[in-house]
Structure 1
């Protein structure tokens, strides 16, 4: 494992980090096995935004006795309400959720306190001019949070955060597909992807400016969505028409200015091992030049990244899970029995969708959630009695 300095924080971090979202649904034993493998492989960075109590508690068990061996990027403003994850700007809810994070992780500090998911101008003002930022500053002043960060998908809003001088770390969505999309300045009304360049590596100007600004200011970038939720790993789903490998995706991200850690979601020990193969393969096998020879019109409009930023759902549907199972089902001529079983085991399915559309304005990737729900209803049919 290679290590980099996390910008002006001075922390030495592994180039590959663990994405905690994929710990959801795992047991304490499964969580511990993943953390064991990560540590043995040299990974020392973990992102934890999930507010689910069992997930946090299981990670606390996994980290017990070795907390100091890991650098934790823990999020502010994520809460678990009415049985589901949601983002909040309510300061009292934020405080309770953060206290819960500390308690369940069995720690008295977080290395990087990440203000969660700021993508619009309005939300930026709410956070940076309001009680959330004041609370974050208090946490930093007291040492409960060592360094401040913010997560975003919008290069313009992210740049404002960097230029504010208040954040030390930026969590940003990076992969070749995203970087070739034109930036949308009005992310609150949905990010509108304009299409990608069809030849050569043409990084969107706003993103290029952001990455360089981070490097110059010493603001470290930790990367989310490096695999495009797996989209880039298969030719049939990749917008380039050709598959990438995990090492190639990681290499692409590490080649961007400002990037220090590439956070990969790992649901199993095997997936951790797959991610750390990056350090084992020769440089030629990390090359991603082949993806730019596809020559077809490519874009990411409407592709679900399974991030669940569309939540909360008034019908209590785990929208990311429904979409995952829909995508899996569509890859086969007939719906695999195991996929159908997992789908119908959900506490709420597409059949419960109210078609209210409240989810869609929350999606940073322009996904037509209601259309996916209609398709899931048709693909999975009725539950077998």
Structure 2
């Protein structure tokens, strides 16, 4: 496995890391085997989140007997206030059965108002700084889905790493990554297979690793076979051929006609729908096969896809000209079939 320095953190990470979303549907015994196999394949970075139901707990249980020191652990939370963040850090430590988390991230930062709240006196960042000073966490990062917004924060934000979607289809973060790398900010790529929309893992991950500004990609894995396959890609250094580059562009073109990149330009919705979230949850339902995870979050939204009034205001705003109304109807039908 080829390793990279994660920005200026001093962390030496395998360039393929383990994404902890899919293990929610496994048994603890299966997760134990996967964690052991990660060490055998040279993968030393694990990413999970408070929102991933049992993922933290599964990982903690699997690592408790001698494996913890073999990994760089990263988790994240959508907590925005001091008290909520302080509580979530303690919950993560307990779930992961450790006294130290290498990287704790603010999950899904979306707006300037969101950022200002986090950085306020009673915001989440103060709790993160205190936890770092106390030795409970090592480094502080952020995840987001809006490249323009995140890039606008680079000159002022205190975060040591960024985690952002990047793959054959979602390439909007390339300038963000270049600027982050120049500033010594670690670059972590999530959604390397576009939430399961891309089925050629070799092509997709090699495309990502060719970007010199990317430190690590974290595909979700739920089997020993996937670990072996992804580790082999990370251990190689085979550049894409001309024909593979053309294939990558063709895949992007084909998926681009019906694929949401979660840029958020379609918002605000007249009916109050978080439009990108509908397509993200649909992906968890139909591609990740996370039925319970997706449906629970879908029904707990203040407004879901079924509330679309077909006004069409969103569609001219979409830089990819997606038929959003038609796609929201598809989401509604998909969830109606399982609820």
TM-score tier by shorter-chain length is 0.7 to 0.9
| Distance of aligned partners of 1:256 and 1:284 in 2 relative to their CA distance in 1, 3 Å threshold | closer
| Distance of aligned partners of 1:232 and 1:295 in 2 relative to their CA distance in 1, 3 Å threshold | closer
For structure 1, which segment, 21-30 or 276-285, has the greater mean C-alpha deviation from structure 2 after superposition? 276-285
1:226 is displaced (CA, Å) by 0.7
Match of 1:169 among 157, 161, 172: 161
Q: Is the 8 A contact 2:191 2:219 kept in 1?
A: yes
1:326 is displaced (CA, Å) by 4.7
What do residues 355-376 of structure 1 show as CA deviations (whole Å, max 9, x unaligned)?
Answer: 9438999xx9997675234322
2:315 aligns with none
For structure 1, which segment, 367-376 or 45-54, has the greater mean C-alpha deviation from structure 2 after superposition? 367-376
2:332 aligns with 374
Q: What is the alpha-carbon distance in structure 1 between the residues aligned to residue 217 and residue 298 of structure 2? A: 37
| Distance of aligned partners of 1:213 and 1:325 in 2 relative to their CA distance in 1, 3 Å threshold | closer
1:291 is displaced (CA, Å) by 2.4
TM-score (normalizing by structure 2): 0.77
What do residues 208-264 of structure 1 show as CA deviations (whole Å, max 9, x unaligned)?
Answer: 33112111111110110111122122xxxxxxxxxxx31221222222243111001
Partner secondary structure for residue 154 of structure 2: helix
1:191 aligns with none
1:350 is displaced (CA, Å) by 12
Q: What is the alpha-carbon distance in structure 1 between the residues aligned to residue 153 and residue 165 of structure 2? A: 15
- Asked if 1:289 is matched to 2:280, the reply is no
1:324 is displaced (CA, Å) by 5.0
> Counterparts in 2 of 1:107-122, with a 5 A limit?
107-122=98-113
Q: What is the aligned-residue RMSD (CA, Å)?
A: 3.9
1:157 is displaced (CA, Å) by 2.5
Q: What is the alpha-carbon distance in structure 2 between the residues aligned to residue 31 and residue 295 of structure 1? A: 32
Q: Is the 8 A contact 1:355 1:370 kept in 2?
A: no
Q: Is the 8 A contact 1:25 1:55 kept in 2?
A: no
2:265 aligns with none
Match of 1:256 among 211, 226, 236: 211
Q: Is the 8 A contact 2:6 2:215 kept in 1?
A: yes
Count of residues in Structure 1 that have an aligned counterpart in Structure 2: 309
2:72 aligns with 71
| Distance of aligned partners of 1:300 and 1:29 in 2 relative to their CA distance in 1, 3 Å threshold | same
> Counterparts in 2 of 1:149-160, with a 5 A limit?
149-160=141-152
- Asked if 1:218 is matched to 2:184, the reply is yes
Partner secondary structure for residue 99 of structure 2: coil
Gaps of 5+ in 1: 78-87, 180-203, 234-244, 307-312, 329-338
1:103 aligns with 94
> Counterparts in 2 of 1:1-385, with a 5 A limit?
1-51=1-51, 54-64=54-64, 65-77=66-78, 88-130=79-121, 131-179=123-171, 204=172, 207-233=173-199, 245-279=200-234, 283=238, 288-291=244-247, 294=250, 298=254, 300=256, 303=259, 326=286, 356-357=303-304, 370-376=328-334, 380=337
Partner secondary structure for residue 156 of structure 1: helix
1:16 is displaced (CA, Å) by 0.2
What do residues 270-325 of structure 1 show as CA deviations (whole Å, max 9, x unaligned)?
Answer: 1112212314667266774122563995564764799xxxxxx9xxxx99676555
Partner secondary structure for residue 170 of structure 2: helix
Q: What is the alpha-carbon distance in structure 1 between the residues aligned to residue 194 and residue 168 of structure 2? A: 9
| Distance of aligned partners of 1:108 and 1:324 in 2 relative to their CA distance in 1, 3 Å threshold | closer
| Distance of aligned partners of 1:219 and 1:324 in 2 relative to their CA distance in 1, 3 Å threshold | closer
Gaps of 5+ in 2: 263-272, 309-317
| Distance of aligned partners of 1:297 and 1:115 in 2 relative to their CA distance in 1, 3 Å threshold | closer
What do residues 82-107 of structure 1 show as CA deviations (whole Å, max 9, x unaligned)?
Answer: xxxxxx42433332222111012111
2:267 aligns with none
1:152 is displaced (CA, Å) by 0.9
